[in-house]
Amino acid sequence: MNKRIGAISHVTTPVQAWLHGSAYAVLIVVAIALIILAKTGNVGVERVRTAVVDGVSPLMEIANRPVVMISDTIETAQNYVALKSENEELRRQNENLRRWQITAAKLQGENASLRGMLNLAPTRAPNVTTAMVVADQGGSFVRSVVVNAGSLDGITKGQAAMTGLGLAGRVAEVGRHSSRVILLTDLSSRIPVFVGASRSRAILAGDNSPSPSLLYLDEGTNVKVGDAIYTSGQGGGFVAGLPVGVVHSLTDVAIKVRPYADWGHLEFLRLEDYGLKQNLDILYSDSGAERQK
């Protein structure tokens, strides 16, 4: 019996090897044939391919679900960490704002008490008109914008032009439906200001660059980077205390100020009328004479 089995195995082993080799060859030939048929646009091959895709798609979707779940879980964890960090930062900012609120309330009370002692007249609330910037007349020698509000809207020459952050300039010309606002950076702009907590007096002078300069500071004035600049109210052009900007550079040549106003995004201006007597000839140099030089 063993001899018979050995004889059979001796015959079948080469046959099996031949069949395996032939199977690989047949599969390769079939694959090449299918590729050629697909290139020729054979309808039968397209139907077979479509049927295979339809049959495999559900399996691929099922196999892909764990990957999607893992990806979603990782993204959720990352979002949670980011939100936790953001929440902590907002909590710190909220605490800082509360401290500033307490400080502001204290200063407000002290200010009211000092005003009462000095018998100061209360500050008049301004008449405010919000206007849209419709044209930018910036150039080599002019820094001004045109807004879509004029005399029919109650705008008068000399009104302060404010952004949400601080002073941007003042109304220089008024038409019926539009007005021209000269910016702080204009070469003809001259504004009396206070500098820092010491309230040192100076003149903020535009020079057609994004950062105007401080002129005529008192001798011995200690100016530091970061000192706040705000209007002094001298000359009657502006009320005192309008925020202007901060000192951002000190050199032997000039003291430069970075205004709070964002010159690249002037879309709306708040025109404020405090009922002051305006004198543009004092607050702004003779621009014609300067520009002819």
17-40 pLDDT, tens digit each: 555 556 566 667 666 766 666 666
43-52, 152-161, 256-265 — which is least confidently predicted? Answer: 43-52
The span from the CA of 211 to the CA of 194, in Å, is 17
**Distances from the Cα of 20 to the Cα of 5, 7, 11, 16, 27, angstroms:** 22, 21, 15, 6, 11
φ/ψ bin of 208: left (φ > 0), alpha (ψ from -120 to 50), beta (otherwise): left
Tens digit of each residue's pLDDT (9 = 90 or more) over 70-113? 878 888 888 888 888 888 888 888 888 877 777 776 677 677 66
How many Cα atoms sit within 13 Å of 229 on the Cβ side?
A: 33
Q: Residue 126's pLDDT band (boundaries 50, 70, 90)?
A: confident
Q: Which residue has the higher pLDDT, 146 or 18?
A: 146
Q: 229 and 242 in contact (C-beta within 8 Å)?
A: no
Threshold 0.75, pTM exceeds: no
Residue 125 confidence (pLDDT) above 80 = no
* C-alpha–C-alpha distance, residues 248 and 224, integer Å: 8
Question: Vertex 111, ends 198 and 109: CA angle to 5°?
Answer: 135
pLDDT higher than 80, residue 138: no
| Average pLDDT score over the chain | 77
Q: To 5 degrees, how large is the angle CA 276–CA 281–CA 282?
A: 70
